[in-house]
Each structure stands twice: as structure tokens, then as C-alpha cells.
Structure 1
């Protein structure tokens, strides 16, 4: 984790993680998510990624809540298989819209999906949500729907708009550095254009 002296932040927040990387499904885990995680950790960011940070035997729900609460940027990768991370998303939206406004940032990353999918204007996530109503109840699923629509309406990154996954990852990581307002940080040569002008 980068200490406060490296940041130009509006408040003196200390976070356990710089970035909470949210994703589901093999279509993202072994591709875009691995590349994002590697690039960010190489650059010195403290990143929470569930298979890297949750230790076997710990209560997963409690650990996830602690990690979400202790992160400054939520990088949410929406892929075609992002059909089970809505509890995480609901927690993020609550923290973003609550007393931590200005402190928590949600960055949607649309990987093979569109904002319309996340806003539930297509069947991609709607079918999966409907399947959860019996298990979790109508009220819980309704909250998840609202969280999806909220995040789907936020400015983010669309993988289809950038040619090449390497370039896409580079731009996303640069954006995260800008959102964290990191200054005077020694960065690898392959991260360009993130210093203040």
C-alpha cells in the first residue's frame, strides 16, 4: 500500500487497499483480470483480488465486506459470466453513496459486455437475476438490480472501444492512478502518461 505522503487526497484517509478488483467467471479471471492485477501490483498498488487475498478457512462474506470497506477504488469487471458478484456490487454502491462520498470510486470495466447489459436492458444479467429470486428473495434481488443500474450508468471503460487487450489494460491502470491522485511515485517505464502535467 502506498502511504499518504505519495498521494494528494482531499482527506487523510488510510485504506488497506488501493483497489478492490471485482469479477466473476473464467472468461475474465484468467485473462483481463490477471493482466489488470499484475500491472497494478507491479506498479505498487495494493489490490484486493479474491483468490489472492482470501485465505482458506476465513469467513468469505466478512472478509469481502472488510476488503470492500477498506478499498478506495472499486474496479468492477463486467463480463458475460458476471452473474454472481452482485452482493459485492450492492456493498460498493452503498459505500459510494453513503457517508464516504468523494472517497470511494466505482470504475466499471465492460469486458465483452455493454452498459445496456448492466442496466438490465438486455437478457444477459436479467435471466441470472430472475434465477436468484427464489433463493435470495424478491427484495434482495431488487437491491441488486438497482445496484447494477446505478453502476451501469457510470462512466467506465469498454474493451470493445480499445484495440488490443494490452493497451486497454494500460489505459485502465493509468485511469486508476489518476483517480487515486498518486504523485511522486516510482513507476515502471511501461506506465506512461500518468504523471501530473
Structure 2
């Protein structure tokens, strides 16, 4: 049995409510009422159909509740309201850095909120080196926001994470490694909460 499956089962036994397959509404109600476990911060145009989307589905299959904007938001919902709430209520963040990540105000806003909310963040550097990530001043944002984004980006760049080259990397191995990292971090976070 793969390590991520063993860790997922251990996680589910210790911290997730038991399944109630007898009535489908129970799962819907539980899904709506339980905050997300993992917030996936990403540049949609770069990674939504690849690494971020695959990671979302893989974590879902392992009975976790990830948040990915394209999967968790419905037409008519306010972007900042829904996303900011998901970030504040999540247990863990994943920041999927890609070559054009820093061009997005939304990506940087989400990352800054994750860091300000003192969430543990697992950085994933997809087709980009940490040293290549820099906040650029295009004249549309106040200096205070740029400083806030730069601080958050620097903190993430100096956090141990995962790297992946989408042109030559092994997708299956990466998904297992990323899932293992998520599960181990969630177990640590939940263990810390239980000790308080």
C-alpha cells in the first residue's frame, strides 16, 4: 500500500468524522459545514488544469477537503468574501508558484492573507526557482500592498517546499510526495490543536 494511502487512512481515523453512506444529505451537509482542510493558492492560467487541479482531485480522493476556486465557488459568489473566508478557516495552505504567479494580484493577495493568518504553507515551485519570484511594481498597487506581498513572498521562498518540472517530472510521484507532505502537516497541526 502506498505511503499516502496509509497516512490518509490514519488521518481519517484520527481526525475526520466517520462516513454516513446511508443518506446522501449527510455528506452534503458535512461538506458545506466543514471548513476546508487545505487552501490551494495558484495562478489559474498556469496550473489550474495541471498541478493544482490534479492535486485538488488527489487530496479529495484521500478524503480531505481542499479548496480550489474553480471547484468550490459558484456563479454569483463574491471572490474576496469566499476566498478570504476559506483562507481564514483552512488548516493549511499550499502555494503553487509558477513562472507568471507574481503577475497576479489575486495570487499575491491570497499568499499575504495566508501568511498574515499564520497558516502553515507548503510551497510548490512548479517550473520556477524561488530566486525567480519577485513582486514587480506595475504602478497599479500602493507601495504598502507591494511591501506586504514582498514580505509574504520572501517568507514562502524561505520555507521548505517541493519542486516540480512539468516537462520532465513524474506526475504520480509528485502527487504522492505532495499528498504525504499535506497529510503529515495536517496531522501535526491537529496534534498541536489537541494539546492546547
Report the TM-score range of the alignment, normalised by the length of the smaller protein. 0.7 to 0.9
* 1:55 matched residue in structure 2: 74
Q: Give 1:108 shift.
A: 0.3
Whether the aligned pair in 2 keeps the contact of 1:15 and 1:70 (CA below 8 Å) is no
Q: Is 1:6 equivalent to 2:14 in the alignment?
A: yes
Q: How many residues align?
A: 159
Whether the aligned pair in 2 keeps the contact of 1:76 and 1:107 (CA below 8 Å) is yes
Whether the aligned pair in 1 keeps the contact of 2:95 and 2:121 (CA below 8 Å) is yes
Whether the aligned pair in 2 keeps the contact of 1:17 and 1:47 (CA below 8 Å) is yes
Query: What is the alpha-carbon distance in structure 2 between the residues aligned to residue 163 and residue 23 of structure 1?
Result: 19
* 1:167 matched residue in structure 2: 173
TM-score by length of 1: 0.73
* 1:67 matched residue in structure 2: 86
Q: Give 1:4 shift.
A: 8.8
TM-score by length of 2: 0.74
Q: Give 1:5 shift.
A: 6.5
Consecutive unaligned residues in structure 2, runs of 5 or more: 1-8, 17-32, 189-196
**3-state DSSP class of the match of 1:110?**
strand
Q: Which moved more, 1:72-81 or 1:25-34?
A: 25-34
- Larger % of helix: which? 2
Query: What is the alpha-carbon distance in structure 2 between the residues aligned to residue 31 and residue 175 of structure 1?
Result: 19
CA-based RMSD: 2.5
**3-state DSSP class of the match of 1:17?**
coil
